[in-house]
Amino acid sequence: MQTVSQTVPEDRRPFRFVIYALTIAMCVICYGDRAALSVGMPQIAHEFALTPGETGWVLSSFLWSYFILNLPGAILLDRFGVRIIGAAAVALWSIAMILGSLTATVPAFIATRILLGVGEAPTFALGNKVVRAWAPLHERGLMMTAFICGIPIGLACGAASSGWLIANYGWRPAFSFLGVLGLVWSVIWLLTHPRPSRNTGTTPFALISVPTLFRSSAFWGIVIAQCCANYANFLLMSWLPIIMRQTLHLGTAQSGAYTAYCYVGAAILSITAGKIGETLVRRSDLSQGGRRKVVCLYLVLASSMGFLPLCATAGTIIPLLAVSMAFMAGGTGANMALLADLLVEDEILGSVTGLTLTFSNGLGILAPVMTGYLLQATGNFHGVFYITGIIILCGALAAAFLPRRPFHGRPQPDHTQ
């Protein structure tokens, strides 16, 4: 397996923390942009006269292009590198945020959300590729969890800041502000990330073999675990402020603040979970899937989300969500690190990550839509969380039994003849 000592010169190894920080900041901005939509959705739904079912479709609209372009975006990432694709991707979705603030019709607004999904498509493949290229093996799970920790941090910051902006100025200025912030990040990333060295040589670009991957039970174990976790992630990032508002009878600013409390707690706990996870697998053979035990354990703990209908106060809802989301972040971080552990060909890690996320985001698309129709049919979120808890447990079972050995992403020569 490749480590930082093989990919980063000795005198640049401390610089990896700058790259880590910028990569996490990218994830924070990405999910801050998503939070702005869910916090602003009551105003947007009122302005455009949307039903709960139609609201679910609008909330999921960015996932359409995000789902379709996960793999193509990751292939471009493997081809052109994280420096160029990272800057271009964030700039594109930031422009989409600004354009969204200027729309006057529902179709035009949905079009900007689809464009946002195009920009966000390579995000997680980029994070996994950066972590494998820059992190020593013993830091890999922790740093991938730290990257995924950008999800709750971004959702917390986005919920709090956009909640305040929307309450005082409206949803359009909030979208514009977040778009400008992303453009600033793109410039900093382009100026900071080292250019590929021509002297050290690079690994030739190669495409993945989908049939080869599909024959691997280890690959399917990682995919299923990611699918089940992403269903819960997309449910919360789309609906949580609305859930808070309806369950606790809050205003826009307060629902944004309570959502932020959940995500801040999750961010703090998820870093601790990542560190504990690395300790738990310290003596395990990571090349044989030792990290799967952490994925399974953390997803089981994350399934506690299914008990949410039993809670009726902020003092019970916020801690339960913070704990379950923290272990969700820890579990998905460990799962992506598990993918990096078991994939033999590191030069196609971005593409294989993209294929994994194509499946997981495909299931994730269903979460906001199903939630909208369940809410419309029942008038509450009880069934939503019972179903989600069971789905997460299915992911834990897949992680426990399937990812047990290394796998290839390209055809191997037949040595039997």
Among 82-96, 123-137, 165-179, the range scoring the smallest mean pLDDT is: 123-137
* Residue 259 CB partners (closer than 8 Å, separation 6+): 35, 38, 39, 155, 156, 159, 160, 163, 240, 241, 244
The alpha carbons of the chain give a radius of gyration, in whole angstroms, of 20
Q: Which residues of 323-358 are buried (b: 16+ CB within 10 A; e: fewer)?
A: bbbbbbbbbbbbbbbbbbbbbeebbbbbbbbbbbbb
Query: What CATH code would you report for 210-408?
Result: 1.20.1250.20
Per the CATH hierarchy, to which homologous superfamily does domain 15-194 belong? MFS general substrate transporter like domains (1.20.1250.20)
Same fold, 15-194 and 210-408: yes
> What is the SS3 assignment for 407?
strand
Please give the model's pTM, rounded to 2 decimal places.
0.72
* Residue 395: C-alpha distances to residues 66, 109, 197, 296, 339 (Å): 22, 34, 40, 8, 15
81 phi-psi bin (left φ>0, alpha ψ -120 to 50, beta other): left
Q: Average pLDDT in the 160-188 region?
A: 88
Closest CA to 62 of 24, 92, 83, 82: 92
Whether residue 231 contacts residue 366, with contact meaning beta carbons closer than 8 Å, is answered with: yes
Q: Average pLDDT in the 32-45 region?
A: 83
Quick check: 270 pLDDT over 60? yes
- Domain ranges for the chain: 15-194, 210-408
> Which phi and psi angles does 46 have, rounded to 5°?
-65, -45
Q: Average pLDDT in the 124-148 region?
A: 79
Over residues 228-261, the pLDDT tens digits come to: 998 998 888 778 878 888 888 877 678 777 888 8
Tell me how far apart the alpha carbons of residues 293 and 335 are, in angstroms, rounded to a whole number.
10
- Report the residue count for the chain: 417
Mean pLDDT value across the chain: 83
> Which phi and psi angles does 343 have, rounded to 5°?
-70, 125
Q: Which residue has the tokens 């305040």?
A: 164
